[in-house]
Amino acid sequence: MSLVETQVLGNLLWRWIMALVVTAVAFLIFLGIRMLVVRRLTPKAEATRSKLDDAVILVVRKTGSLFLLLMALYVATLCLSIPPHVARIFRQLLLIGFCLQVALWGNALIKFWIIGRARPGEVMDKSTASAYGILAFLARLFLWMSVFLWLLSNLGVNITAVVAGLGIGGIAIALAVQSILGDVLNSITIVLDKPFEVGDFITVDNFLGTVERIGIKTTRVRSLQGEQIVFSNTDLIHSRIQNFKHMRERRIQFNFGVVYQTPVEKLQRIPGMVRQIIESIEGTRCDRVHFKSLGDSALMLEVVYYVSTQDYNIYMDTQQAINLALCKQFETEGIEFAYPTRTLYVNQTGSPV
């Protein structure tokens, strides 16, 4: 009997040799496929805006060599006659390796998603990075727990009691830190939904100011008076927020009055004068000018115009320019602005004693 026909662990020696060769060849083929996919797809992915091809390349790159070796060993076992209990142990090892690889893929995709949230050339501020860090931690925790429970289930472990225990413990913890957990989750909501960002000028109820920091539990706003206003993230989510950063143009309405002694022909020319003054200022658009009403002591006119900026200082400069031009034009035309007056008529029915 030749050496290759020698029995080793229930298989001929030549079968073990063939299994080793198959393992080496399969492992090299898997490595080659991984390297080929990365080299071929990377230039194409860089030329497109789609994130899907980048994610595919990332998954291929994060496929570990140990996992590929386990796959090669599995292919090699097809050449051997292995006892059932040994085959079961090997399948369990392969299952464990697959679960670990899935977890590594998930970790890489979570990191890829978080990095993709930032705009090109933009660096995340500390508040946003903290919120995304919490979100990444929760996502990884859910991923690893899911993989672990799925692994235990496939290894024959009854996970019903484990899941029930985790559920009861989670409910108890959630009730104990309900308010804190609510603020943390709402901070993640603010970061993801982006009702406002750091640097935005917002109004919340009767408070207004510039957002300085979006924290895990609170958001800090610097008011116009200079003090810092601290809002709970839960309060912000349940409030009506006005964000002036996204205002494309500012609508301004103001009224003024002229005296009742103003001649009708001059009164008819006032809307045209006001419109001409507004349209002569760069960045403004006149909507309407109307002789609105007969006031108690003035003929009231209403003006509506738009300024193509959200900057409050520019708006005030524009309003000041309009007011000065109106004063100058009315002075030239001999038109008087009205101010509160009262005329008393005394009717004397008898002669003095």
Both 142 and 190 in a single domain?
yes
Q: What is the mean pLDDT of the chain?
A: 81
Nearest by Cα to 215 from 113, 141, 125, 138: 125
Question: With the CA atoms of 65, 71, 73 and 76 taken in that order, what torsion angle do they form, in degrees rounded to the nearest 10?
Answer: -140
pTM over 0.85: no
What is the percent of the chain where pLDDT is above 70?
Answer: 83
Three-class SS of 78-128? CCCCCCHHHHHHHHHHHHHHHHHHHHHHHHHHHHHHHHHHCCCCCCCCHHH
Does 286 or 158 have the greater pLDDT score? 286
pLDDT over threshold 90, residue 318: yes
| Tokens coding 47 | 């030329």
Both 45 and 103 in a single domain?
yes
Within-domain flag for 44 = yes
Within-domain flag for 58 = yes
Q: How many domains does the chain have?
A: 3
Range of the domain at 15: 1-117
**DSSP one-letter code for 3:** G
pLDDT over threshold 70, residue 129: no
Within-domain flag for 282 = yes
CATH number at residue 189: 2.30.30.60
Residue-wise pLDDT for 61-89, tens only, equals 888 888 888 888 888 887 777 777 777 88
Both 9 and 49 in a single domain?
yes
Nearest by Cα to 335 from 229, 261, 253: 261
Both 188 and 281 in a single domain?
no
Which residues neighbour 54 within 8 Å (Cβ) at sequence distance 6 or greater?
45, 112
d(CA 184, CA 178): 10
Q: Is 158 helix (H, G, I), strand (E, B) or coil?
A: coil
Both 221 and 271 in a single domain?
no
Q: Is 255 helix (H, G, I), strand (E, B) or coil?
A: strand
Both 111 and 129 in a single domain?
no
d(CA 70, CA 41): 25
| Element containing residue 207 per DSSP (H, E) | strand 207-214
pLDDT over threshold 90, residue 107: no
Q: What is the pLDDT of residue 199?
A: 83
Within-domain flag for 343 = no
Question: With the CA atoms of 64, 68, 74 and 77 taken in that order, what torsion angle do they form, in degrees rounded to the nearest 10?
Answer: -130
CATH number at residue 323: 3.30.70.100
Within-domain flag for 340 = no
Q: What is the pLDDT of residue 191?
A: 75
| Tokens coding 334 | 């001999």
Both 108 and 196 in a single domain?
no
Q: What is the pLDDT of residue 259?
A: 92
Q: What is the pLDDT of residue 299?
A: 93
Both 261 and 182 in a single domain?
no
What is the percent of the chain where pLDDT is above 90?
Answer: 20
d(CA 110, CA 132): 10
Among 84, 101, 117, the domain boundary falls at: 117
Among 98, 117, 136, the domain boundary falls at: 117
d(CA 309, CA 306): 9
Within-domain flag for 342 = no
Within-domain flag for 76 = yes
Both 209 and 135 in a single domain?
yes
Both 126 and 237 in a single domain?
yes
Both 179 and 278 in a single domain?
no
pLDDT over threshold 90, residue 300: yes
Which residues neighbour 143 within 8 Å (Cβ) at sequence distance 6 or greater?
103, 106, 107, 110
Among 117, 135, 167, the domain boundary falls at: 117
Q: What is the pLDDT of residue 175?
A: 53
Both 230 and 272 in a single domain?
no
Q: What is the pLDDT of residue 169?
A: 60
Q: Please report which confidence band the pLDDT of residue 351 belongs to, taking 50, 70 and 90 as the band edges.
A: low
Within-domain flag for 347 = no
